[in-house]
Amino acid sequence: MVINVLNPAVHKSTIPSETVKVDDNGQIQLKHGAVQTMNIGRSTNAGNAYIKGTDYTIDMLTGKITCMGTNLKPGVQAYVNYTYADPTKVTAADIVGAVNTAGDRTGMKLLQDTWNQFGFYAKILIAPVFCTQNSVAVKLIAQAEALGAITYIDAPIGTTFQQVLAGRGPQGAINFNTSSDRARLCYPHVKVYDSATNSEVLEPLSSRAAGLRAKVDLEKGFWWSNSNQEIQGITGVERSLSAMIDDPQTEVNQLNENGITTIFNSYGSGLRLWGNRTAAWPTVTHMRNFENVRRTGDVINESIRYFSQQYMDMPINQALIDALTESVNTWGRKLIADGALLGFECWYDPARNEQTELAAGHLLLSYKFTPPPPLERLTFETEITSEYLVSLESNR
């Protein structure tokens, strides 16, 4: 689900006079694509204009001009006046969105409409680049709370290791001061190859981590952690971080200890996402601070709520209670068989269902479950012993 907040009528810029030259292939490439209006002329500000369709054609999406006839020949200098859709004009307010007087939502608030339109809510929320602003980050967390989702949030480009750790506290200068179990904090940015510039550029880790989360959901299951899974398509990281699986003092493990997800890059390991916990850690020590545990609970809770619609307004009797509890328990047993849960139980507790509540049409069913936590720390206890010396035998 992608929400495009760019409004070409609002988010646009004008280049009054871009100096260009026809290349050997008879083409001109403007500095910007998504062109809305354009004129090309012999003098500044596109004066003494060439004729579109006679002297040139233009691909408005890419900003590539193809020259025709004899007027715009290779080597000819010209001047272009054009207006283009400018994504740099998009603001944090556009991303956050609002509800207008007609009740229509914009920005990320549109996510609240997805169930009625598509039959699902987004479960992984990202706003690459903009999420580094605290104003956007807090709204992403609020949306994740409302939708039962997880949001992936980046530290700003250029943040140092010390600054990102300090950012978890009240004196920090970045957007990481949260204990929400709906937020996954990502650091640092990653490097990717840009074919247009033939160079490496920085991209937010959040978008790659979110993509990996979706991949793990599809291939392994929502109950799997996406930590220690290799990230495809990246060439490096913004800054080097020390990494060893058995040394808690390495930088990647220090980041994990402060509820920050990072990149593990050691000898022969490849570039792997590293970190299981949401921003709830270390404030919240309950196992729900593991992202996969939190998300497993979300899937179960939401599934049971929506499943129960078929039973609404039926007579409250023993048959209804038995049908509900057995249906839920049957599904719980399937989740156990899939490996998504270690145990599950749904039951009716008479002590929790008072006569006055039942008379009012209120039925309470209880259920509990245990998702498998990820293996975050493995300890081998070793002993050097002489007891196996007794196994020595004579060969005579």
| pLDDT > 70: percent of the chain | 100
Least confident of 98-107, 182-191, 219-228, 231-240: 98-107
For every residue of 42-60, DSSP letters joined together read EEGGGEEEPPBTTTEEEET
Total-model pTM: 0.90
**CA-based nearest residue to 289, from 206, 229, 216, 373:** 373
Between CA 111 and CA 370 the distance in angstroms is 30
* Average pLDDT estimate for 200-219: 97
Strand partners of residue 40: 80
What does the pLDDT average to over 342-364? 98
Domains along the sequence of the chain with CATH: 12-89 (no CATH), 92-291 (3.40.50), 313-396 (no CATH)
Alpha-carbon span 124 to 152, nearest angstrom:
7
In DSSP notation, 118-172 reads HS---SEE--TTGGGSHHHHHHHHHHHHHHT-EEEEEPPTT--HHHHHHTTSTT-
Q: Is the pLDDT of residue 320 over 80?
A: yes
Whether the pLDDT of residue 391 is over 90: the answer is no
- Exposed, middle or buried by CB within 10 Å (0-12, 13-18, 19+), for 158? exposed
CA distances from 357 to 321, 348, 386 (A): 15, 14, 69
Question: Does residue 393 surpass a pLDDT of 90?
Answer: no
The upper half-sphere exposure of residue 122, i.e. CA atoms within 13 Å in the direction of its Cβ, equals 22
Give the pLDDT band (50/70/90) at residue 395: confident
Which ranges in 339-363 belong to alpha helices (H)? 355-359
At residue 108, the pLDDT reads: 95
- pLDDT of residue 196 exceeding 90, the answer is no
Flag whether pLDDT at 163 surpasses 80: yes
Write phi, then psi, for 171 (nearest 5 degrees).
Answer: -90, 0
pLDDT tens digits for range 107-154: 999 999 999 999 999 999 999 999 999 999 999 999 999 999 999 999
The answer to whether 79 and 46 have CB atoms below 8 angstroms apart is: yes
Q: What is the pLDDT of residues 229-266, one digit of tens each?
A: 999 999 999 999 999 998 999 999 999 999 999 999 98
pLDDT greater than 80 at residue 202: yes
Can you give the pLDDT at residue 256? 97
Closest CA to 70 of 44, 50, 100: 50
